[in-house]
């Protein structure tokens, strides 16, 4: 059962990634681009109109993604994070941009805090680390939505770029971003005007890249990808990067590796049992809410057991909600488990065979 469950997780994780890829490929505002009646590429008014249209399209897409994944049904899971303890953060004086200012900034928070946390980073550069299904893409999506909601007329447009399609050996980051924006939002794929317009927007700092999934770039290319980011983005360029923890640490600690310059790094934490159970209860009809009682008892008795570990990420909580919307998850609380220390204490046994 455990093997089957983990297989379902792997498939679902890939399915969620596929959903985002498909959605990101929609040319959602072809008509809007046409109605702007943009003239010459170097016309500031044309660029301003394109920025406004892009912001509207990205917000529309982000809302569609949130609905598709039922992120606000009834509320988002409380994804939480802390400053990472891994040796992958740049010197704090580099993050502050002030020689000698080494005091770290506490960036701990939960989903609703992400925009505020990002603005606390003096350099405007943030790396988000999290394991499979831990909520990296959900957090990136939430950041994009909140930044767009708070965006002023002169502010850049936050856009989530799935990195799986970037080959740093073939294209610079800026060139790839322009091509990706053109393919995803430009509509007029056969005309050179739209890609050039996106290039101008990027060069002017009117796009804030939220680069999702460094770990989805093939391992041999991750080092060059990170090196390109450091070369191509200047001191005033803000950006966000997501990655799995092990892959990021491995890339950074390679002989020729380096951290993302001036970037603070946070790491997503396992779901708290209370947040998980509140979510499962409130997404279940009142007449069926008691079906979670065996799981609640199991988590209380075995806080580090297989069920607790399996349901420690937002993806797994979403799968549990979806898979057991009708029948109760009784078998989740009856998985075979190795005896824990508390088991041994209750038995009064110290036998290696038993414990």
Instruction: Specify the 3-state DSSP secondary structure of 212.
Output: strand
Instruction: Specify the 3-state DSSP secondary structure of 332.
Output: helix
Q: How far apart are CA 150 and CA 302, in angstroms?
A: 43
Q: How far apart are CA 300 and CA 303, in angstroms?
A: 6
**Would you state the pLDDT for residue 194?**
65
Q: How far is CA 338 from the centre of its chain?
A: 33
Dihedral sign (CA 43, 44, 45, 50): positive
The C-alpha angle with vertex 81 and arms to 262 and 241, in degrees rounded to 5, equals 40
Instruction: Specify the 3-state DSSP secondary structure of 209.
Output: strand
The length of the chain is: 355
Q: Contact 13/135 with Cβ under 8 angstroms?
A: no
**Would you state the pLDDT for residue 310?**
82
Instruction: Specify the DSSP class assigned to residue 325.
Output: S
Q: Contact 146/126 with Cβ under 8 angstroms?
A: no
**Would you state the pLDDT for residue 326?**
61
End-to-end CA distance of the chain: 23
Q: Contact 80/110 with Cβ under 8 angstroms?
A: yes
Those residues with Cβ within 8 angstroms of residue 34's Cβ, 6 or more apart along the chain or in another chain: 187, 188
Instruction: Specify the 3-state DSSP secondary structure of 83.
Output: strand
Domain extent listing, the chain: 2-268, 273-336
**Would you state the pLDDT for residue 249?**
98
pLDDT in tens, the chain (355 residues): 333 333 333 334 443 443 443 334 334 444 444 444 444 545 678 788 889 999 999 999 988 888 877 777 777 778 999 999 999 999 999 999 999 999 999 999 999 899 999 999 999 999 999 999 899 988 999 999 999 999 998 899 999 999 999 999 999 999 999 999 999 987 644 444 567 889 999 999 999 999 999 999 999 999 999 999 999 998 899 999 999 999 999 999 999 999 999 999 999 999 888 888 888 877 777 777 777 888 778 887 888 888 888 888 887 877 777 777 666 665 565 444 444 434 333 434 333 333 3
Identify the H or E element spanning 265: strand 264-268
Q: How far apart are CA 12 and CA 81, in angstroms?
A: 23
């Amino acid at each position: 059962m455990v093997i089957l469950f983990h297989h379902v997780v792997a498939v679902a994780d890939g399915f969620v990634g596929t959903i985002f890829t498909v959605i990101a490929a929609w040319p959602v505002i072809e008509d809007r681009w046409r109605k702007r009646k943009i003239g010459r590429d170097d016309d500031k008014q044309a660029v301003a109109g394109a920025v406004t249209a892009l912001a509207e399209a990205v917000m529309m897409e982000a809302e569609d993604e949130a609905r598709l994944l039922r992120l606000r049904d009834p509320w988002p899971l409380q994804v939480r994070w802390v400053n990472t303890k891994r040796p992958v953060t740049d010197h704090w004086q580099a993050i502050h941009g002030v020689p000698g200012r080494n005091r770290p900034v506490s960036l701990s928070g939960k989903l609703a805090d992400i925009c505020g946390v990002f603005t606390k980073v003096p350099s405007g550069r943030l790396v988000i680390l999290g394991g499979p299904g831990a909520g990296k893409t959900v957090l990136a999506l939430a950041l994009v939505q909140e930044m767009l909601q708070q965006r002023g007329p002169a502010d850049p447009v936050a856009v989530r770029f799935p990195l799986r399609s970037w080959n740093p050996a073939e294209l610079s980051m800026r060139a790839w971003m322009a091509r990706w924006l053109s393919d995803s939002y430009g509509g007029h794929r056969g005309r050179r005007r739209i890609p050039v317009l996106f290039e101008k927007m990027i060069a002017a700092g009117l796009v804030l890249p939220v680069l999702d999934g460094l770990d989805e770039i093939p391992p041999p290319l991750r080092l060059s990808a990170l090196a390109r980011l450091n070369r191509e983005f200047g001191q005033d360029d803000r950006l966000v990067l997501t990655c799995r923890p092990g892959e990021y640490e491995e890339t950074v600690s390679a002989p020729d590796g380096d951290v993302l310059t001036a970037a603070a790094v946070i790491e997503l934490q396992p779901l708290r049992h209370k947040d998980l159970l509140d979510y499962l209860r409130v997404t279940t009809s009142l007449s069926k809410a008691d079906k979670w009682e065996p799981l609640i008892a199991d988590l209380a008795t075995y806080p580090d057991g297989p069920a607790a570990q399996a349901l420690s990420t937002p993806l797994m909580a979403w799968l549990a909600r979806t898979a057991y919307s009708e029948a109760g998850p009784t078998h989740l609380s009856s998985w075979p488990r190795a005896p824990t220390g508390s088991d041994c204490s209750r038995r009064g046994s110290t036998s290696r065979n038993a414990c």
